[in-house]
Structure 1
Amino acid sequence: MDERQFRNAMGKFATGVTVIAAEVDGNVHGMTANAFMSVSLSPKLVVISIAEKAQMLEKIKQSGAFSVNILASDQKDLSMVFAGQMKDHQEVVFDRLDGVPVLPNVLTQISCEVTAAHVEGDHTLFIGRVTDIHVNDSDPLIYYSGKYRSLAEE
């Protein structure tokens, strides 16, 4: 199987859309990611997967903390900004959750402290201990087969 076939197959798994944020030397950095999942309830742990070539990799290593911001269905533009697909945009202002930068008005904000990092293939998996969480009531932004989607009403 070639790389394109693998990517297409993995794209058949519908995911939510997140923005991962970290702060280094007073500067907040963010990137769009859909490689996120919960790992454990006790202790409360999540994992994110960051490509070795991503600038965000070193930012998380330096910071030792990160946030996961789960986007709502009306936040496609925010996803595109942090994916580098939208160059002309207003500056994004961050809030704080347990001292970690988070995006305001997202579906869910999760602040995390890095507890472990595992290099696997061309990615690093960061395990984060959840230090705080804030949830809003809204529908999620969905990513499926290379396109943004929304949940359909039943």
Structure 2
Amino acid sequence: MDDRQFRTAMGKFATGVTVIATEVEGDIHGMTANAFMSVSLDPKLVVVSIGEKAKILNKIKESKIFTVNILAADQQELSMIFAGQLKEHKEVVFERLDGKPVLAGAVAQVACEVSAEHVEGDHTLFIGRVTDIHLEDKEPLVFYSGKYRSLVAEQPVTI
């Protein structure tokens, strides 16, 4: 199989869209990612997968903290900003959760301290110990087959 076939197959898994953020010496750094999952309930752990070429990789290694911001359906522009898809500079305002930078309006904000890191292939997996969570009652931004999507609620069937 070639790289394109592998990427296409992986794109058939519908995911939420996140922005991973960290802070080093007062500067906030962020990256759009969909490689995120929960690992453990006790202790509460999550994992993010960061490519070796990503600028944020060494920032997380240095700071030992990160946040996962699960984007809401109305936050596609933020996803595009942190994916480097928008050419014009847009100012992004961050809030704080447990002293860590988070995006206002996200469906979920998850603050983490790095508990372990594992290099696998061309990515580093950061295991994060969750230190705080903030939730909003919103619809998530969804990514499937290379496109942004939104959820559509099923209509009840009446007989």
> In which range does the TM-score fall when normalised by the shorter chain?
over 0.9
Structure 2 unaligned regions, length at least 5? 155-159
Report the Cα distance in structure 2 between the residues aligned to 1:54 and 1:96, rounded to whole angstroms: 23
Task: Among all aligned residue pairs of Structure 1 and Structure 2, give the percentage whose two residues are the same amino acid.
Answer: 73
AA partner of residue 10 (structure 1): M
TM-score calculated relative to the size of structure 2: 0.96
The equivalent residue for 2:65 is 65
Residues 1-154 of structure 1 mapped to structure 2, 5 A cutoff: 1-154=1-154
Report the Cα distance in structure 2 between the residues aligned to 1:106 and 1:92, rounded to whole angstroms: 13
Alpha-carbon deviation of 1:90?
2.7
SS of 1:142's equivalent in the other structure is: strand
| RMSD of aligned residue pairs (Cα, Å) | 0.6
Report the Cα distance in structure 1 between the residues aligned to 2:13 and 2:124, rounded to whole angstroms: 21
SS of 2:13's equivalent in the other structure is: coil
AA partner of residue 38 (structure 2): S
Larger Rg: 2
Alpha-carbon deviation of 1:89?
4.2
Q: Assess if the C-alpha contact under 8 Å between 2:81 and 2:90 holds in 1.
A: no
Report the Cα distance in structure 2 between the residues aligned to 1:49 and 1:115, rounded to whole angstroms: 14
Report the Cα distance in structure 2 between the residues aligned to 1:60 and 1:48, rounded to whole angstroms: 11
Runs of 4+ in 1 over 4 A off after TM superposition: none
AA partner of residue 140 (structure 2): P
CA deviations over 1:26-76 (Å, ceiling 9, x no partner)? 100000000000000000000000001111100100110000000001111
